[in-house]
C-alpha cells in the first residue's frame, strides 16, 4: 500500500522546483486560466492527460469518467463542456480513449459492480450495433476495436451537442479530435481527422 505522505512530499518538491525554475509560473497561474484544450478521457490511472502529453498546469481543462463517455444528461460533463467552450473558449476538444479499457471490457462481458454496468450501458448498445464486426474478432482484439468505436461514437455525440453546434454556428474556432492511447507503448494515435465545423 502506497503511503499518501509520498504524494505530499512529492508535491512540495515539485512546487519548490517549479518556483525556483520558473519564478513567474505561480503568480501567472493565480491570475487565471486560458487552456488550449478540453480533454475528455477515461478515469484509468494509466492515462493522465497532462503527463502523457508533456503539458503544464494551465494547458488542459479536464473531464474524466469511466470509458470517456459523453452522456447528454450527465450534469458534470455538461457543466465542464459549457464552461470550457463558452467561457474559456477552448479551441480544441480531445476525446481520448485507450486500449484495454476496463469500462469497455465491462460493457462486453459484464462486471461485478452494478453502478459500472449501468454507466457503460451506452457501450453495450454500441457493441450491439457493431456485433457482426466484433464477433469475428478474438477477445483482446474485440475489446480494443470497441475501444476505438467508442471514441468515434463519443466524439460524434460531442459534435452533435447543442453547445458545440452553437459555438460553430457563432463562428467560434473549435476542433474535435478523436484520439486513442496505447497503454503498452505510451503513444497516442489519431483515429480520424478532426471535426472543424457543423458539416463534419
Residue 66 or residue 167: which is nearer to Co ion going by CB?
66
| Shortest distance (Å) from residue 115 CB to Co ion | 15
- Please identify, using beta-carbon distances, which residue of 62 and 200 lies nearer to Co ion: 62
- Find the catalytic residue in 46, 121, 165, 192: 46
**Who contacts 56 (Cβ-Cβ below 8 Å, separation ≥6)?**
50
Q: Which pairs with CB-CB distance under 8 Å and at least 24 residues apart come from 59-63?
A: 59/35, 60/35, 60/36, 61/33, 61/35, 61/37, 61/88, 61/90, 62/38, 63/38, 63/39
**How large is the angle between the packed helices 121-129 and 102-109, nearest 10 degrees?**
70
Catalytic member of 101, 145, 147, 177: 101
Q: State yes or no: is 101 an active-site residue.
A: yes
> Does 63 qualify as catalytic in the annotation?
no
* Active-site pick, 98, 142, 145, 177: 98
Catalytic status, residue 46: yes
- Shortest gap between Cβ of 126 and Co ion (angstroms)? 15
- For residues 111, 115, 120, 125, the Cα torsion angle rounded to the nearest 10 degrees is 90
CA atoms within 13 A on the CB side of 191: 27
Q: Per the structure block, which three cell numbers stand in for 155?
A: 466524439
Q: Which is nearer to Co ion, 93 or 120 (CB)?
A: 120
Distance CA(67)–CA(89), nearest Å, equals 25
44 assigned to active site? yes
Distance set, CA 2 to CA 5, 6, 7, 11, 172 (Å)? 9, 8, 9, 15, 45
Minimal distance, residue 85 CB to Co ion, in Å: 24
Looking at the Cβ atoms of 125 and 193, the one nearer to Co ion is 125
Binding site for Co ion (CB under 5 A): 42, 44, 101, 103
The answer to whether 42 is a known catalytic residue is yes
Shortest gap between Cβ of 43 and Co ion (angstroms)?
Answer: 7
The set of catalytic residues is 42, 44, 46, 98, 101
Amino acid at each position: 500500500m502506497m503511503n499518501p505522505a509520498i504524494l505530499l512530499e512529492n508535491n512540495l518538491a515539485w512546487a519548490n522546483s517549479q518556483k525556483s525554475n520558473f519564478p513567474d509560473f505561480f503568480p501567472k497561474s493565480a491570475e487565471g486560466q486560458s487552456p488550449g484544450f478540453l480533454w475528455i478521457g477515461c478515469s484509468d490511472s494509466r492515462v493522465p492527460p497532462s503527463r502523457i502529453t508533456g503539458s503544464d498546469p494551465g494547458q488542459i481543462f479536464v473531464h474524466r469518467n469511466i470509458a470517456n463517455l459523453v452522456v447528454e444528461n450527465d450534469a458534470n460533463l455538461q457543466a465542464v463542456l459549457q464552461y470550457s467552450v463558452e467561457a474559456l473558449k477552448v479551441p480544441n476538444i480531445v476525446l481520448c480513449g485507450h486500449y484495454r479499457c476496463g469500462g469497455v471490457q465491462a460493457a462486453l462481458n459484464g462486471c461485478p459492480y452494478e453502478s459500472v454496468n449501468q454507466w457503460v450501458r451506452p457501450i453495450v448498445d454500441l457493441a450491439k450495433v457493431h456485433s457482426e464486426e466484433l464477433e469475428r474478432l478474438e477477445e483482446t482484439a474485440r475489446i480494443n476495436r470497441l475501444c476505438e468505436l467508442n471514441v468515434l461514437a463519443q466524439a460524434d455525440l460531442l459534435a452533435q451537442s447543442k453547445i458545440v453546434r452553437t459555438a460553430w454556428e457563432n463562428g467560434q474556432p473549435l476542433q474535435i479530435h478523436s484520439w486513442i492511447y496505447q497503454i503498452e507503448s505510451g503513444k497516442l494515435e489519431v483515429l480520424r481527422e478532426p471535426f472543424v465545423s457543423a458539416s463534419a
